[in-house]
Structure 1
Amino acid sequence: MGKTPILRIIYASTHPTPVRSTCTPTTQARPEIVVLLCDADIKRKRETNTWNHLDGRPFSKEERALVLSATRVEFEEIQEQFKRYREYRRTVDEAPDALERFLAPFMERLAEKKLGNAVELMNEEERAELDHLLGLIVEPVRPFAPYAL
């Protein structure tokens, strides 16, 4: 027996029809898979068809199952991780030149061209930038680590 028009109106107002989305749902990358894949020796995988960590340890059965369940989202996240690391390395590599460009206007104003004299001409923001650039130069380069930057 069908519903009367009144019952259909009451039912419709209390049981809304679900709206179907035409968008693909966004999913999150699983960090444990991203970390594992970033530690995978891909060259050895191609040569031996076995999964190993970068330090040579073979993947456990559970780790193999995890990497085999990786989705496009995880691989995209890995690309983003490496992109951020390459940007960090580029910044570190360019730091000496950036420091020279940063100091040039201060040194031009000085008769005695010493860093200490240049610092006296700087405001707080400029000193912070100087500290940042010097830190990039003197700190050892950090190795790649997923989710570190």
Structure 2
Amino acid sequence: MTHRNIRLDVVTLLCDADFRRRPDTNRWSHRDGRPFSKAEQALAFSATREEFMIAADQINREVDYHREYEEAVEALPKLLLPYLAQVPDGSTVSDVLPQMSDEDRAAYDRLRDILAPDGYLFAPTDE
């Protein structure tokens, strides 16, 4: 793709679009359910093939990211629980890292990078 004359506002709008027409407005809507305004619908309809392709690529990347994130959410406890069972209550992940095999440590690092790319993992509690 040449990426000439790409309108960022159009691509952004397309990335936030639910392309099913709403029966109440006969227009598309935003992902959160808000209907497109007439101006937004006109802007979306003015999109070029290249702008649609760029938006589709971005949407696919977001889908892949969310899938990878959800898989990591499931995999991390499965990886850590056997090690946490071997240490005293109140121990933390940093207490089990030295006990991990090289393979498990590499898997942990990969999952950590997916779940906490900035280094901070927020884990909500039941409290």
Greater helix share, 1 or 2? Answer: 1
User: Greater CA radius of gyration, 1 or 2?
Assistant: 1
Provide TM-score, normalisation by structure 2.
0.56
CA contact (8 A) 2:20 2:29 kept: no
Q: CA 1:139/1:83 → structure 2, altered by over 3 Å: closer, same or farther?
A: farther
Question: What pairs up with 1:1-149 in 2 under 5 angstroms?
Answer: 26-28=2-4, 29-45=6-22, 49-53=26-30, 54-61=32-39, 63-99=40-76, 103=80, 107=83, 112-113=86-87, 115-121=93-99, 129=109, 131-132=112-113, 135=116, 138=122
Residue 119 of structure 1 deviates from its aligned partner by 2.0
CA drift of 1:76 comes to 1.0
- What is the percent sequence identity of the aligned residues? 35
Structure with greater contact order relative to length (CA < 8 Å, sep ≥ 6)? 1
Q: Which runs of 5+ in 2 are unaligned?
A: none
RMSD, aligned CA: 4.0
Conservation of the 8 A alpha-carbon contact between 2:14 and 2:44: yes
CA distance in 2 between counterparts of 1:138 and 1:40 reads: 29
